[in-house]
Chain A
C-alpha cells in the first residue's frame, strides 16, 4: 500500500506538490491523473526517495523508501527520466541492477521474454526504440518481483498494442495482490485499467475515488430553473451535485423518477440522460483539465 500524507515539495518558492494526501491500496490499479505539470512525477520521486519532500511524507507499506530493507524486492518503478547507457546491452542493464540489488539468481531471461526483448537483449540500448526502452524499464522494475509497482506515464512511446499490453500487465499485477500506481495525463490511456483514481491539479488533490463508487449509475438532468430543481432534489432526499457545466448529476438509476421530481416542481427538463462510469469519469477529468488550462 502507498500512503501519501500532506506531501509538499517546493522548488525555488514554487509549490510543485501542495499538501497532497491519498492512498493506493494493494490489489488495485490506482490511476494517478492530472494534466502535465500537475506534480505527478514530483510526487513519485518523493515516494521513491529520489527527491526529499519539503514537508509531509510518502510511505510504502508504512516505510519511507530509503528505510526499506530491500527496495528492489519491495518496489518496482518505471520513471520517465530514467536513462540507459547507450553502449550497454539490454541484458547487461538488467544484470547491473540485479548485481547491485544482490539478487543471487536473477530471472533475467524469462523477464526479457515477458517484455518481448529476448531477440534484442544482446544489442546495445543506444539502438533501441522508445518502446523497447520502455519495455526494458518495465523488465528492470520487475527484476525483484516487487509488491508495489509505480509507473510514470508508462504508455509514452508505446504503440496501441503496447499500451493495451501495459493495461493487461497492470491488471495481472493487481489481481496477484500487488499495489499498482500508474500516472497519466491522458485518461483514455488508463481508464479501462484502473480500479481507483486520484486526480490532482497544481499539486493539489481534486478527487480520490474507487471506480466502484462511481458505478452507481448517475442521471444527469438539465432544466430551465436550476435552483428550483436543486430545492426539489433536496426535498426528495436525492444525492445530487451541480456540475461545472450547469447540469445536475444525481445518484439514481431511473430517469423517470427524476423526470417526475422535475414535473412536480414545475420545472422544464431540457435534457435528461443516464451517465455510465466511463462518462462520469471523463466528465470529472475534463472539468479538471479544462480548469487547469484556463
Chain B
C-alpha cells in the first residue's frame, strides 16, 4: 500500500498540475483574507479585534479549498481523461487500493496546502491589521482553532474531490458540477429550505472553519458530516470502479 501512495504522489509531482493550482489556491485564500480585513473591518479596530472579527477574517482562508477540490477531482478523473487508467489498473487490479492511495495523497496535499495558506493568512492578516491600526491577537485561541479547522477543511475538500472524480469519470463534468454546486446550487437550496442547509457539504465546511454564521453545526459535527460525505462518495466510487468496465 505504501508504494501505491508513493506512486500516486509521483504521478502528482510529474505533471504541471500543482504548479498552477497551489499558487492559485494560496492566492485566492490570501485575497479572501485581505478583502475581509479591509471590507469587513472597515477601519473599525474593535470589530477587527473581536473574536467574531478574527473568525470572520481567518475563515476566509478556506476560500482556496475549492481549487484543492478541483485537484482532487483531477487526481481521480484525470486518469480517464488521459487514458492512464488502463496502466494503473494493470499494475493494481484491485481498484479500491488505487482509490485508497489517491485519497491518502489527496488528504496529504490538502493538509500541506492548508498549512501553507494558514501561515500566509496569519502573516497577511497581521500586516493588514497593523495598517488598520489594530493588533492581530496571535495569542487568541480563536486564531489557532480556526486555523486547525482550515487544515481539516482543506484535507477533507481534497478527499471529497478524489472521491467525486472516482464516481464521475468525466473530468470536465465533475469539475463544472462541483463548482456549480458550491457556487450556486447549495446557496439556492439553503434559501429554499434553510432547515436542511446546515446538513449540506458547503455548510458543513463553513462549520469546520468556524465561519461566524447562524445555524451552522459545531466544528466537530461539521467535520464528521463532511468526512461522511467524502467516505460515502468514495464508497460509491469504489463500487462503480469494481463493477464498471475500465
Name A's B-contacting residues (CB within 8 A): 45, 48-52, 65-66, 68, 71-72, 75, 77, 79, 81-89, 92, 95-97, 99-102, 140
Is B200 part of the binding interface, using a Cβ–Cβ cutoff of 8 Å?
Answer: no
Q: How many A-B residue pairs have CB under 8 A?
A: 82
Q: Pick out which of these stretches binds chain A: B5-13, B37-45, B222-230.
A: B5-13
Whole-angstrom CA separation of A97 from B245 in the bound complex: 21
Q: Please tell me if the beta carbons of A45 and B245 are within 8 angstroms of each other in the complex.
A: yes
Is B83 part of the binding interface, using a Cβ–Cβ cutoff of 8 Å?
Answer: yes
Whole-angstrom CA separation of A96 from B82 in the bound complex: 15
Shortest Cβ gap from B98 to chain A (Å): 8
Q: Please tell me if the beta carbons of B91 and A72 are within 8 angstroms of each other in the complex.
A: yes
Q: Please tell me if the beta carbons of B86 and A83 are within 8 angstroms of each other in the complex.
A: yes
Is B191 part of the binding interface, using a Cβ–Cβ cutoff of 8 Å?
Answer: no
Q: Please, which residue of chain B has its CB at the minimum distance from the CB of A70?
A: B91
What 7 A-B pairs have minimum CB-CB distances, sorted nearest first? A83-B83, A100-B7, A66-B93, A99-B7, A92-B14, A51-B245, A102-B3
List B contacts of A99 (CB < 8 A): 3, 6-7, 10
List B contacts of A101 (CB < 8 A): 3, 91
List B contacts of A49 (CB < 8 A): 89-90, 93
Q: Please tell me if the beta carbons of B89 and A50 are within 8 angstroms of each other in the complex.
A: yes
Shortest Cβ gap from A275 to chain B (Å): 41
Q: Please tell me if the beta carbons of A100 and B3 are within 8 angstroms of each other in the complex.
A: yes
Given A77-B90, A92-B10, A51–B246 Cβ distance below 8 Å? yes
Q: Please, which residue of chain B has its CB at the minimum distance from the CB of A50?
A: B246
Q: Please tell me if the beta carbons of A79 and B86 are within 8 angstroms of each other in the complex.
A: yes
Q: Please tell me if the beta carbons of B245 and A82 are within 8 angstroms of each other in the complex.
A: no
Given A71-B93, A96-B11, A102-B3, A82–B246 Cβ distance below 8 Å? no
Whole-angstrom CA separation of A162 from B17 in the bound complex: 34
List B contacts of A86 (CB < 8 A): 82
Q: Quick one: which of B87-122 are within 8 Å of A by CB?
A: 87-94
Partner of B84, one of A65, A77, A83: A83
Whole-angstrom CA separation of A101 from B14 in the bound complex: 17
List A contacts of B82 (CB < 8 A): 83-86
Q: Please tell me if the beta carbons of A72 and B90 are within 8 angstroms of each other in the complex.
A: yes
Q: Please tell me if the beta carbons of B84 and A84 are within 8 angstroms of each other in the complex.
A: yes
Shortest Cβ gap from A63 to chain B (Å): 11
Q: Please tell me if the beta carbons of B14 and A89 are within 8 angstroms of each other in the complex.
A: yes
Q: Please tell me if the beta carbons of A65 and B91 are within 8 angstroms of each other in the complex.
A: no
Whole-angstrom CA separation of A99 from B7 in the bound complex: 5
Q: Please, which residue of chain B has its CB at the minimum distance from the CB of A141?
A: B90
Partner of A71, one of B16, B91, B245: B91
Given A52-B245, A65-B93, A71-B93, A96–B14 Cβ distance below 8 Å? yes
Q: Please tell me if the beta carbons of B90 and A48 are within 8 angstroms of each other in the complex.
A: yes
List B contacts of A81 (CB < 8 A): 83, 86
